[in-house]
Structure 1
Amino acid sequence: MNFAIVGCGHIAKKHADAIQAADGATLFAVCDTVSEKMEPFVIDYGVEAFDDFSKLLANDNVDVINICTPSGFHGDLAVQAAAAGKHIVVEKPIALTLEDSQRIIDACKENNVKLSVVHPNRFRPVMMEIKELMNQGKIGKLSHANATVRWNRNQAYYDQAPWRGTKSLDGGVLMNQAIHNLDLILWLMGDVEEVYSMSATRLRDIEAEDVSTGVIRFKNGSLGMIEAATTIYPKNLEETISLFGETGSVKIGGTTATLFEHLTIEDLNDEESNTLIEKVKADPFGKPGHQWIIEDMVKAIEEDREPVVTGEDGKKALALVLALYDSAEKNTPVRVLD
């Protein structure tokens, strides 16, 4: 499958490397309105460069479009790509509004093309292990969960581009960083019914929030807590996911939530638990998540099935972020829209 990347900013290189490493995928082209941004890709990967998106879409050699532009542009670009019969891999978040996310989903269905949203953290070895344990019922009836992102994004990070930290093109810590953790919470715990959140812009000179806290009620009756910040001094401190059930307690931690920090499950003895902990510790990152996404898209096309991370998954994570925003603005509990 020939892939083309649209938007040659920071995340584009990760996509390019993932495509080059993925089985069944080739990086064919890049596209950006600023020619200088495409030059490193032309030199390093030997690809074609397009400064006109419509000309890229008209090229019959392109099978899949990877959308890596600022988030506020995802909707229009994805709809155009779908209309041109191109399959789509879109960076998180799928869009910044529910209307745009639904436009993308509908356009892909109408044009019979595949759609995948980049939520690669599901493919970390530790996450796949805990998901399997939960699928086997090892955690039991769920009590509550906690997701924490305590990271540093200094002012220089936001000053790299004028769209960073804006509400119209980027969003704040929830939309940009913690949406990965919200996707994981949804994937592990199920759909959300209601949220209550507070947020603030404390230390960074941006339009959106740099710190947010919130509580969640899931549709299965369990509860959750979210804490996300880019204000941690002087560097990233931790990213954790904790799950508590009737027959198991789990804490996944480290700087980027890649290790078991605690694992106690009724059906696992100490030796079995330690074996699982050490297995993950030996290879905490595994195959890069973006490569998983690319290879899954190739297989989804070949097998004519839905990708593992669907447009609907992306919309659910977006809906949760927007509900948290809405609650913080209104200072009241808010139901999550489907």
Structure 2
Amino acid sequence: MENVHFAIVGCGHIAKKHAEGIKNTPGATLVAVCDTIPSNMEWYVQECQAVAYQDYDEMLKNPKIDVVNICTPSGSHAPLAIKAAEAKKHVIVEKPIALTIKDADAIVEACKKNKVKLSVLHPNRFRPAMMELKKMMDEGRFGKLSHANATVRWNRNQQYYDQAPWRGTKSLDGGVLMNQAIHNLDLLLWLMGDIDEVYSMSATRLRKIEAEDVSVGTVKFKNGALGVIEAATTIYPKNFEESLSIFGETASVKIGGRTANFIEHWVMEGMPEEEVAQLKHKINENPYGIPGHQCIIEDMVQAVNDDREPIITGEDGIRALRLVAGLYQSAEKRMPIKAHDIE
């Protein structure tokens, strides 16, 4: 296996998860970082021996870089990803892939045109409980699906939004659906399939931000099943729960906890209680598993070496973005929106 060299652009909070994932992945090396603020890069220079760049275009000239990890505010993803692709660098982009479908499409097109690989950070798919649930759904253990419930009840206080001027803005960040709940919505689509129609209401109730801090909505999937979505950053005084529940004719499952890592309910036809207890014990022993960021970086290393598509693709990122865009569109127009009308 050939060593794959990574660069990170945007050295804020989330970038350290990328750096740790690279550090813990065999065959991966962090060689460069880029940020407009020099002090933000000091940790990466000292701890990872990465070369620091303030100029992104200059960094992209470095021939050693194979993959660029984009960790900047969401509204800036598209131009940075497109430049990386044009420089023949593979791309890992933080969620959401972009804030508009037009920008997301442009990222995917640039990566295809330049024959580079693209992966989007939806790491929650690698949670042990979610992987078990996905396996059971793929095996058809739920029978005909009835409905699903995706819930994010978290706290992001005003201090959180005040940390940076881009937070909570519509142009660079988005609200609870685009920022916090999009991981949960990606899981919902991964498990339930594509959407047919959405209907939503949203509000900005407690935080002084442009975007929404609470949203409720419903979904009809192409398979005929229904879904309920609830997302809020207004929960007092701290994160309460993130959960995903799936109901079918032969199974009912809820994965919950503060970050949807634990089996809270698992009843399945043909699965004895003893087997369910063993599964719960297995998950409780290691509910978080290998960090999702590391899993995605490991996958990119394998994808580059094997010349295959990453597990989580640009199209996957667009699918989650389209759901959020549809919910926004419905709330704005106060009417149901068909999937083919989402803009």
Q: Tell me the TM-score range normalised by the shorter chain.
A: over 0.9
Return the offset for 1:35: 1.2
Select which of 310, 319, 341 maps to 1:307: 310
Amino acid at match of 1:26: T
Q: Which residue does the alignment assign to 1:277? A: 280
Alignment of 1:111-150 (within 5 A): 111-150=114-153
Q: Which residue does the alignment assign to 1:31? A: 34
Q: Does 1:257 align with 2:260?
A: yes
Amino acid at match of 1:252: I
Q: Secondary structure at the match of 2:178?
A: helix
Q: Distance in 2 between matches of 1:30 and 1:320?
A: 32
Q: Distance in 2 between matches of 1:70 and 1:171?
A: 10
Amino acid at match of 1:74: H
Amino acid at match of 1:124: R
1:177-220: CA deviation from partner (whole Å, max 9, x where unpaired): 00001100000000001100000000000000000000000000
Return the offset for 1:336: 2.2
Q: Distance in 2 between matches of 1:22 and 1:228?
A: 33
Q: Which residue does the alignment assign to 2:59? A: 56
1:132-186: CA deviation from partner (whole Å, max 9, x where unpaired): 0111111111000000000000011001100000000000000000000110000
Q: Distance in 1 between matches of 2:142 and 2:124?
A: 21
Q: Which residue does the alignment assign to 2:109? A: 106
- RMSD of aligned residue pairs (Cα, Å): 0.8
Q: Which residue does the alignment assign to 1:86? A: 89
Return the offset for 1:45: 1.7
Q: Secondary structure at the match of 2:282?
A: helix
The ranges of structure 1 where at least 4 consecutive aligned residues each deviate by more than 4 angstroms after the TM superposition are none
TM-score with structure 2 setting the length? 0.98
Q: Distance in 2 between matches of 1:157 and 1:242?
A: 29
TM-score with structure 1 setting the length? 0.99
Aligned length: 338
Q: Secondary structure at the match of 2:228?
A: strand
Return the offset for 1:3: 0.4
Select which of 238, 241, 245 maps to 2:244: 241
Q: Which residue does the alignment assign to 1:172? A: 175
Give 5+ residue unaligned stretches, structure 1.
Answer: none
Return the offset for 1:34: 1.4
Amino acid at match of 2:74: S
Give 5+ residue unaligned stretches, structure 2.
Answer: none
Amino acid at match of 1:248: A
Select which of 290, 312, 315 maps to 1:287: 290
Q: Distance in 2 between matches of 1:140 and 1:257?
A: 23
Return the offset for 1:44: 2.0
Q: Does 1:267 align with 2:264?
A: no
